[in-house]
Amino acid sequence: MECSLVEMNTMRTIAHTTVPMPGAYNREIVTKEIIKFTEANEIKKGIKLHLIIDAPVHNSEICDDDMYGFVKYFNLKTGKIITASSTADMLAYRQWNLIGMSFGTKKMRDEWASHSRMALLYISDNNANMSMINNGVIIDGLGLGEYRKYTSEITMNHITGMNMNDTSIQTWSKAMEPMLCMMFETMHADYTYIYLDPHIGTQPALDTGIIKTRYVDNVNTTTQQDIIESVVMIDSYYEGDHYYMRAARGDYQDVTLEIEDDDGTVKSMPVFQH
């Protein structure tokens, strides 16, 4: 488990620690380690706390027997408020924002917010989870369930370290195809993204036919950085304004005044903030 204290405006990590988790974790162990970190860094009640976990999460309820009821348990134990989210959901929302940010016109950015459907498959050393973003809304709680049979050969331990050779990559690529087909038939997403953790330099080729599949470009970042970015993005959402929309406008357009010309035309003018 990794704990980070982050400055939201700059996404700068102020404090960070890695906590070894021997064996299976549960809500008592996780709560104890979070308390240790918050006390060591004098984190008060006013600071938002997020738990990002590699498991399906719906409305902050973790779909895992050992972590079920974690948010309520943590709140009662500490008196602090915490939000639980799925790693796949957070990384999917980040990728959705990055795509929106890449559009050059406001019309295209608005179109992305109202007519887009994107799926993401998060693959770690020994696990896989999926997520979907529909018009900027995270469809949370998605789990592989009975499709876990597809995950036995697609986890990262098959293609990293000493195992990374032509045979293992071919086997991995072939195992990915039914998983991606299942996701497409279930979600009918416009694009399906694959997030590999740990990151690797060479991304295996995939034959997915009509399914538009791409890898998340994360070679030059860490998963921790990407998750921090996703937390900042989701916390900045307000009344239909997603992170990429705010980033495209710039701070100077956050506040506007209605000004009437001599001919009666009303214009919305930005107020510069310095």
List the chain domain ranges: 88-220
- Predicted TM-score (pTM) of the model is 0.87
Q: Could you give the CA distance from residue 260 to residue 98 in angstroms, rounded to a whole number?
A: 37
- Find the mean pLDDT for residues 5-23: 87
Neighbouring CB atoms inside 10 A of 204's CB total 18
Does position 263 have pLDDT exceeding 70, yes or no? no
Per-position DSSP letters for 217-231, written without gaps between them? --TTS-HHHHHHHHH
**Residues whose CB falls within 8 Å of the CB of residue 69, separated by 6 or more in sequence, listed in order:** 27, 61
Cβ pair 117, 133 in contact under 8 A: yes
In terms of pLDDT, which residue wins out, 178 or 265? 178
Q: CA 255, CA 273: separation in Å to the nearest integer?
A: 8
Q: What is the mean pLDDT of the chain?
A: 88
State how far the Cα of 85 lies from the Cα of 77, in Å rounded to an integer: 19
CATH architecture of 88-220: 2-Layer Sandwich (3.30)
